[in-house]
Amino acid sequence: MKKEYDFSVMKSRKNPYASKLKRQVTIRMGDDVIGYFKSMAEETGIPYQSLINLYLRDCVANDRKPDLSWQ
């Protein structure tokens, strides 16, 4: 293996996985919701934003809808 490589002669190409990357959004959540996921993050070692994404992905996969009946 060479000690040094000349990367200036390499051709660039698009990332084939770029379309599957996550998109950054801004969302307003209550402190209690954020606290819940942050405490779960400490227990599991998974970042809280990833936990929120996993939970929402599970809701999509199981076609869960929120209960919007106000009492």
Give the pLDDT score at 63.
96
Overall number of domains in the chain: 1
Max CA-CA distance within the chain? 71
Q: Which segments of the chain does DSSP mark as H helices, in order?
A: 31-44, 48-61
Q: What is the pLDDT of residue 29?
A: 96
Distance of CA 7 to the CA centre of its chain: 32
Low-confidence winner among 24-28, 50-54, 66-70 (lowest mean pLDDT)? 66-70
Across the chain, mean pLDDT equals: 90
Q: What range does the domain containing 33 cover?
A: 29-63
Specify if 48 maps to a domain: yes
d(Cα 17, Cα 40) in Å, to the nearest integer?
A: 29
Secondary-structure percent of the chain, ordered helix, strand, coil, rounded to 5: 50, 0, 50
In a domain, 3, yes or no: no
Is residue 58 situated within a structural domain?
yes
Domain assignment present for residue 47? The answer is yes
Tens-place pLDDT, residues 12-40: 888 777 777 888 899 999 999 999 999 99
Provide the pLDDT for residue 16. Answer: 78
Amino acid of residue 28: R
- pLDDT of res. 4: 84
